[in-house]
Amino acid sequence: MKLLLALLLLSTSSFAQLSVIGKWKTIDDNTGKERSVVEIFEKDGKVYGKITKIFREKGEDPDPVCDECEESDDRYKKKIIGMEIIRDMKKEEGELTEGTIMDPDNGKIYRCKIWVEGNELKVRGYLGPFYRTQTWLPVK
């Protein structure tokens, strides 16, 4: 019985970890088009996310830099592909909290909360009492 309980707990914790860690496709709120692929990973006990691919329209710079980031931010003038946009997220009861997410289109940094609903990732950015939630899809 103890062995069965231990295996159940181990498989549950592994499943929870796999549900957020991995590659996710971001979708534009307004157009519904694919925007990027973000890889979410764990480092030093916290969770981070970096852009591994962007989907660009014809005529757009295929390898842009973050011109809109604050000059004091270490991401200023850095390439968006490879950029860490999610930082310092803490695991808390089935969700990630207390970290930040940056929108490389405008350089703004928001408090962030991330959780899984079904096979979708919900990513919420907060600015004061206001928030916006995006749905990200798993990359197959």
pLDDT attached to residue 75: 96
Q: What type of residue sits at position 6?
A: A
pLDDT given at position 29: 83
pLDDT, tens digit only, all 140 positions of the chain: 433 333 333 333 433 444 799 999 999 888 889 999 999 999 999 999 999 999 999 999 999 999 999 999 999 999 999 999 999 999 988 899 999 999 998 999 999 999 999 999 999 999 999 999 999 999 98
Number of domains observed in the structure of the chain: 1
Instruction: Take residue 8 and report the two structure tokens written for it.
Output: 């159940």
Contacts 24+ apart (CB under 8 A), 36-39: 37/139, 38/85, 38/86, 38/136
> 28 is in which domain, residue-wise?
2-138
27-41 b/e with 16+ CB inside 10 Å = b? beeeeeeebbbbbbe
Predicted TM-score (pTM) of the model is 0.83
Where residue 113 sits, what CATH number does that domain have?
A: 2.40.128.520
- Check residue 94 and give its pLDDT: 87
pLDDT of residue 55: 95
Q: What is the pLDDT of residue 30?
A: 85
Q: Which two tokens stand for residue 13?
A: 């914790």
